[in-house]
Amino acid sequence: MTKFAKMSLVTAIAVTGMASSLVAAETLSEAFSNGKLKGSLKSYYFAQDVDNETAANKDSSIWANGGHLNFVTDSYKGFVLGTTFQHSSVGHLDDKGTSSKTAGSMDAQGSVLSELYLQYTVNNTTFKGGRQFITTPLLAGSGSRLIKEAFEAYLGINTDLPDTTIVAGIVTKYQTRTDKSTYSDNTAAVDFQSNGTGEPGNFNDIKNDGLKTLYLKNTSIDGLTVQGQYAQVNDVLSAIYADAKYSFGGDLKPYVATQYYDTDYDAVTGLKDNSLYGLKAGINVSGVDLFAGYTSNGNSSVNGDARTFRGIGQGAYAHYTATTKTAGNNAFIAGTDAWQVGAGYKFDALKTKLRYTSFDDPSANADLDETTLNLEYKFSGKFKNLKAQIDYSILDYENNTRDATDLRTRLIYSF
């Protein structure tokens, strides 16, 4: 899904560690008094119109308001304490279908403590444990709804090697958007709660003592960025992700990129192994960012083969055919080929992106063409720190009874 205000795990820890080392508190009291408080106020309106309404598939809309408060102490003897409190309140809801579209995404009434972590930095190594936001290719919480997804994790990050970042650790729990959120492609690895009451998301257990992961990023070759990640859930699966992007520089800023997912399912799951590869290229012409992406998934869903594991979290869509409404989730279905073309342009304070994505699913009547328009405007002057976002998607299925349009609007004031 759309990932606004996203900061990678690597960058978040590195920046926090650097700031703490430069300005360290001399007492515990000073660490709290010198701490940094920030937050946001949010108002979201989402609406979906379906072409062919049925009892279980009707038009829906929701208006919700809320925000978050984040407090991080100054460093004391290398230690930092961080917290993030989130709140959501539903102002209007029209979602009458027997299968609610908003129950697992926006229909949340209440508050949740999404971050509560203790961080310790020594030399070039940082340890961070507790509830926290994470963004890596195979572990990423979405921030496109009022409640941003989080994890409970215990991680170490090291930058001793030149131009190289290494992150290793274990992730034990996954906090969803609402306590009714369940995602079918994550049920093999996560114990989702089944009796939610409409509150912000719970911290659901990741099965079999959690997900063990190792992440690496390297920029030692000029213009080349390489990253890779390994993830394992005991008796469920092991997964590998890798990508490389080379930027040529110059006025046109051309680049090429390639990526690879591989999933090895444990025999007890009864699922068949699968993999996905992707290619992407882009160029900037007169300020317009032009890009094209392609992904291809192995095996075939027609034969009952399993989908490729994309990772845990609704932000874990690192593939080159990702979209806004469906996130490009169909690209991970066995046997599916997908391609995407798009363009982006910035008009002063207005940022725009237009994408057309086609998913060729081998199953009958399952193909999807998805058109996505993303707009973001950042205000200035008296309204500095306020931004407005509009996402509009058109879903054109081979099975026309599923066609729909999706509108998402957001007002966000950050302080």
Q: β-strands 404-414, 386-397: how paired? A: antiparallel
- CATH classification number, 9-414, choose in 2.20.25.90, 1.10.760.10, 2.40.160.10, 1.20.1260.60: 2.40.160.10
Domain boundaries, the chain: 9-414
Cα distances from 352 to residues 231, 280, 389, 410, in angstroms, run 34, 20, 10, 15
Average per-residue pLDDT for the chain: 93
The encoded tokens of residue 406 equal 């999706």
* Predicted local distance difference test score (pLDDT) of residue 17: 42
Retrieve residue 29's tokens: 């009291």
pLDDT the model gives residue 97: 62
Beta strands in 123-235 (DSSP E): 125-132, 135-136, 139-140, 150-158, 164-175, 190-191, 203-206, 211-218, 224-233
pLDDT at 247 exceeding the cut of 80: yes
* Single-letter residue type at 18: M
pLDDT digits (tens, 9 = 90+) for 304-327: 789 999 999 999 999 999 999 999
Phi, psi of 339 (to 5 degrees): -140, 155
pLDDT score for 9? 53
Among 294, 293, 377, 376, smallest CA distance to 342 is for 293
Q: How confident is the model at residue 114 (pLDDT cuts 50, 70, 90)?
A: very high
Tell me the one-letter amino acid at 366: A
Residue 298 pLDDT greater than 80, yes or no? yes
**Could you give the CA distance from residue 59 to residue 218 in angstroms, rounded to a whole number?**
46
Q: How many beta carbons lie within 10 A of that of residue 365, not counting itself?
A: 11
pTM of full prediction above 0.75 = yes
- From 89, 144, 103, 204, select the one nearest 326 (Cα to Cα): 144
Q: Evaluate whether 320 touches 154 at the Cβ level (below 8 Å).
A: no
pLDDT of residue 370: 98
